[in-house]
Chains A and B, each alone.
Chain A
């Protein structure tokens, strides 16, 4: 019925949906096959236009969905597996939730691709590896394709395929500069960071897999269409099962969306190029966990109490990461922990059942955090170009460095090396401010609306979480204020910052677009009368899946005003500490002086890495060492292989070689040979050369034969 309705409108736009996966794949294949000889401009255009086309297709899906009265539409694509009666199809699901994700991924992705064409042009020169430009865009396109598989799949299995695919791309891109000189900032810790991300994600994937197995075991299907709403809605089994499924799924979410306890990989993931941090580790991939929880809303709704578990994890992460962000000096690390914190907000929101608020925050966060990361990238690039005259192109105003100075250990990402940049890079500064305000949650900016909605839901249902999130929001405003004061105000604290250079337009345009979205993006879910468009839009899907109407709380000034005041207070405090008396070169962070050990704890991420190292890594490595050295090497290798097999085998072969081969076989062979030789020597005497001798022997034979005839 839906299908016929759609087809009567002529061309079925839904049938275009597989192209959201294949256009990026085509883009990467083109670059992979033909890109070797192409210059960077063409490679960038191919990659960016592939993602842009994907965005166009996503918009067409939006239009198609509007024409379909927001009803979900499933586009079968291929049968992946057919085992007897069991089929595993690859189906594309077009509903309001997946289209939202598609639009975010491809839209933000397009902007970041365009930005990356400019950014990577400098980055590959800074790292002196021009060939990596093509590799970068191949990976990026692959990521877009994988992310599209993730959000458009109609079953947990296809979601998982994309889930793993983006994990792979994340790994590839975090370790993008894996081969940089290990004793500089770009050390082989890049490769280590990639590995860490991958391993942490493996732990999460284990959870996701277990959740999938349990789901399939009990509901006999992984397809969303079959699971929701029927299978789960009519489910009336034991709550323990739901607890297991959701618990394992939460582990998967914690892995992918960097929640406690698996968040440790995300800050390290900043080792990747900045566009990667923006696209994968801020805007899209890390939100996959939030998407997963939203998609699985019926399961999370099935049993009371599950919500608290998820929300607690999210809220704890939000606060915990926010405190760490305060103590960071690296501009990207601050944003990384901010991302972890904001993801905590989202997970807390979807955990509380406020799916719309969570998804809303996901979208706005994608805008402003991508903006912030790209802005940070622009800042870093500006400082790098100031530090590195060869690619900066401003020798006239740059004093020539001597060699020693040139090779000094300089971290272009350290905020203590920055300062006063707002005059050098005004465009970056202004767009960065838009993103900052959005993240702080100042009114009318995008982040205000979404964060406010989360706080509102929390206040209504889980007051404890509400307070935790409020504190986290306060800290968010504080660390962002600190960052802005440190980076853009005061006086330059390093020569590189004095001569920093504004980024090219290919980078500034995406910044401007994202800044616009960060300012006005929040109005898509205008919380007053006649608003809630985003809520209604998502509601079509979620309500149908859960079978319950979404509760949309009314706007509460009692939430918005205190939150705004707290944000302003945090800005004021940060001004007192960092803005009033700007940091001087080499000066200690004033907060470090004031807070002492607490700051040290914040700076060192509350020693979580060290605790993990002590609790898990070391014993694990000891165990591995035990297995490797004692079990494998000593017992298995030394004892079993060396002594048991090799020595005995050698004994056996020696036995075979000496007595058997030399003694018996060789003797037989040599004996045969010498016997033949000797007998030949003897017999050769019979060949006298006298024909009559031969005739005599023949005659003798005749006589003997005749004698035999007689005597037989």
Chain B
């Protein structure tokens, strides 16, 4: 039996790695993928706790998160496409018009 703590730790490490990707990479698509990774780590936590508490609600939330993630990916990739059309780049640092 794998202790719950292992899953939590794994989920934390995956989340941190996703965050690292967001913070270090300049490729918008990879940043986006890192966000997906962070969402997955959260999903893993949901399922692990659902298993731990014996309540299926956690899985249902995972289901919803997946649906929202799918929608997010659709819109987000559409945005990336739109930005690329205007800027001809997917480098996030070049999309920095909003500065003080």
Answer whether A and B touch in the complex at a CB cut-off of 8 Å: yes
- Render B18-42 as a binary contact track against A, CB cut-off 8 A, 1 for contact: 0100110010000100000000000
Binds B, one of A230-238, A252-260, A524-532, A689-697: A689-697
In the complex, what residue of chain A is closest to B20 when comparing beta carbons?
Answer: A699
Q: Are A692 and B98 in contact (CB under 8 A)?
A: no
Please give the distance in Å from B36's CB to the nearest CB on chain A: 15
Q: How far is the CA of A699 from the CA of B19 in the complex (A)?
A: 8
Contacts of A653-712 to chain B: CB distance below 8 A: 683-692, 695-696, 699
Contacts of B51-100 to chain A: CB distance below 8 A: 92-93, 95-100
Residues of B within 8 A of A690 (CB): 92-93, 96, 99
Please give the distance in Å from A710's CB to the nearest CB on chain B: 13
Residues of A within 8 A of B23 (CB): 692, 695-696, 699
Q: Are A691 and B100 in contact (CB under 8 A)?
A: no
Q: How far is the CA of A687 from the CA of B98 in the complex (A)?
A: 8
Please give the distance in Å from B83's CB to the nearest CB on chain A: 12
Please give the distance in Å from A308's CB to the nearest CB on chain B: 109
Residues of B within 8 A of A696 (CB): 23
Please give the distance in Å from B68's CB to the nearest CB on chain A: 20
Residues of B within 8 A of A685 (CB): 100
Q: Are A689 and B98 in contact (CB under 8 A)?
A: yes
Please give the distance in Å from B11's CB to the nearest CB on chain A: 14
Q: How far is the CA of A688 from the CA of B94 in the complex (A)?
A: 11
Q: How far is the CA of A684 from the CA of B92 in the complex (A)?
A: 20
Interface size on A, residues (CB 8 A): 13
Q: Are B100 and A686 in contact (CB under 8 A)?
A: yes
Q: Are B99 and A689 in contact (CB under 8 A)?
A: yes
Q: Are B92 and A689 in contact (CB under 8 A)?
A: no
Please give the distance in Å from A687's CB to the nearest CB on chain B: 3
Q: Are A695 and B22 in contact (CB under 8 A)?
A: yes
Q: How far is the CA of A687 from the CA of B97 in the complex (A)?
A: 10
Q: Are A688 and B96 in contact (CB under 8 A)?
A: yes
Q: Are A692 and B93 in contact (CB under 8 A)?
A: yes
Residues of A within 8 A of B98 (CB): 687, 689
Please give the distance in Å from A678's CB to the nearest CB on chain B: 14
Q: How far is the CA of A418 from the CA of B99 in the complex (A)?
A: 108
Q: How far is the CA of A689 from the CA of B31 in the complex (A)?
A: 16
In the complex, what residue of chain B is closest to A700 when comparing beta carbons?
Answer: B23
Q: Are B19 and A689 in contact (CB under 8 A)?
A: no
In the complex, what residue of chain B is closest to A686 when comparing beta carbons?
Answer: B100
In the complex, what residue of chain A is closest to B92 when comparing beta carbons?
Answer: A691
Please give the distance in Å from A117's CB to the nearest CB on chain B: 93
Q: How far is the CA of A223 from the CA of B45 in the complex (A)?
A: 107
Q: How far is the CA of A696 from the CA of B96 in the complex (A)?
A: 15
Q: How far is the CA of A101 from the CA of B39 in the complex (A)?
A: 115
Q: Are A692 and B100 in contact (CB under 8 A)?
A: no
Q: How far is the CA of A690 from the CA of B26 in the complex (A)?
A: 10
Contact of A687 with B92 at beta-carbon distance under 8 Å, contacts A695-B22, A695-B23 already known: no
Residues of A within 8 A of B22 (CB): 692, 695
In the complex, what residue of chain A is closest to B98 when comparing beta carbons?
Answer: A689
Q: How far is the CA of A688 from the CA of B95 in the complex (A)?
A: 11
In the complex, what residue of chain B is closest to A683 when comparing beta carbons?
Answer: B100
Please give the distance in Å from B31's CB to the nearest CB on chain A: 8
- Of the candidates A684, A686, A692, A695, the one having the most CB atoms from chain B within 10 angstroms of its own CB is A692
Please give the distance in Å from A271's CB to the nearest CB on chain B: 88
Q: Are B100 and A687 in contact (CB under 8 A)?
A: yes
In the complex, what residue of chain B is closest to A680 when comparing beta carbons?
Answer: B100
Q: Are A692 and B92 in contact (CB under 8 A)?
A: yes
Residues of B within 8 A of A692 (CB): 22-23, 26, 31, 92-93
Residues of A within 8 A of B95 (CB): 691
Q: How far is the CA of A604 from the CA of B19 in the complex (A)?
A: 120
Q: How far is the CA of A695 from the CA of B92 in the complex (A)?
A: 12
Please give the distance in Å from B96's CB to the nearest CB on chain A: 3
Please give the distance in Å from A466's CB to the nearest CB on chain B: 117
Q: How far is the CA of A686 from the CA of B99 in the complex (A)?
A: 8
In the complex, what residue of chain B is closest to A699 when comparing beta carbons?
Answer: B19
Please give the distance in Å from A4's CB to the nearest CB on chain B: 105
Q: Are B99 and A687 in contact (CB under 8 A)?
A: yes
Please give the distance in Å from A674's CB to the nearest CB on chain B: 18
Residues of A within 8 A of B97 (CB): 689
Residues of B within 8 A of A689 (CB): 96-99
Please give the distance in Å from A470's CB to the nearest CB on chain B: 117
Q: How far is the CA of A695 from the CA of B35 in the complex (A)?
A: 12
Residues of B within 8 A of A695 (CB): 22-23
In the complex, what residue of chain B is closest to A688 when comparing beta carbons?
Answer: B99
Residues of B within 8 A of A683 (CB): 100
Residues of B within 8 A of A691 (CB): 92, 95-96
In the complex, what residue of chain B is closest to A702 when comparing beta carbons?
Answer: B19
Residues of A within 8 A of B99 (CB): 687-690
In the complex, what residue of chain A is closest to B93 when comparing beta carbons?
Answer: A690
Please give the distance in Å from B29's CB to the nearest CB on chain A: 14
Residues of A within 8 A of B26 (CB): 692
Residues of B within 8 A of A686 (CB): 100
Q: How far is the CA of A687 from the CA of B96 in the complex (A)?
A: 10
- Of the candidates A684, A685, A690, the one having the most CB atoms from chain B within 10 angstroms of its own CB is A690
Q: How far is the CA of A684 from the CA of B99 in the complex (A)?
A: 8
Q: How far is the CA of A684 from the CA of B97 in the complex (A)?
A: 14
Q: How far is the CA of A695 from the CA of B26 in the complex (A)?
A: 12
Q: How far is the CA of A685 from the CA of B98 in the complex (A)?
A: 12
Q: How far is the CA of A600 from the CA of B72 in the complex (A)?
A: 123
Residues of B within 8 A of A687 (CB): 98-100
Q: How far is the CA of A465 from the CA of B19 in the complex (A)?
A: 131
Q: How far is the CA of A689 from the CA of B92 in the complex (A)?
A: 10
Q: How far is the CA of A696 from the CA of B26 in the complex (A)?
A: 13
Q: How far is the CA of A690 from the CA of B96 in the complex (A)?
A: 5
Residues of A within 8 A of B31 (CB): 692
Please give the distance in Å from B82's CB to the nearest CB on chain A: 16
Q: How far is the CA of A695 from the CA of B97 in the complex (A)?
A: 16
In the complex, what residue of chain B is closest to A682 when comparing beta carbons?
Answer: B100
- Of the candidates B23, B97, B100, the one having the most CB atoms from chain A within 10 angstroms of its own CB is B100
Q: How far is the CA of A17 from the CA of B99 in the complex (A)?
A: 97
Q: How far is the CA of A696 from the CA of B20 in the complex (A)?
A: 9
Which A residues contact B (CB, under 8 angstroms)? Answer: 683-692, 695-696, 699
Other than A689-B97, A691-B92, A695-B23, give 10 A-B pairs with Cβ distance below 8 A: A684-B100, A685-B100, A687-B98, A687-B99, A688-B96, A688-B99, A690-B93, A690-B96, A692-B22, A699-B19
6 residue pairs from A and B, CB less than 8 Å apart: A688-B99, A688-B100, A689-B96, A689-B97, A690-B99, A691-B95
Nearest 6 pairs between A and B by C-beta? A689-B99, A684-B100, A689-B96, A687-B100, A689-B98, A690-B96
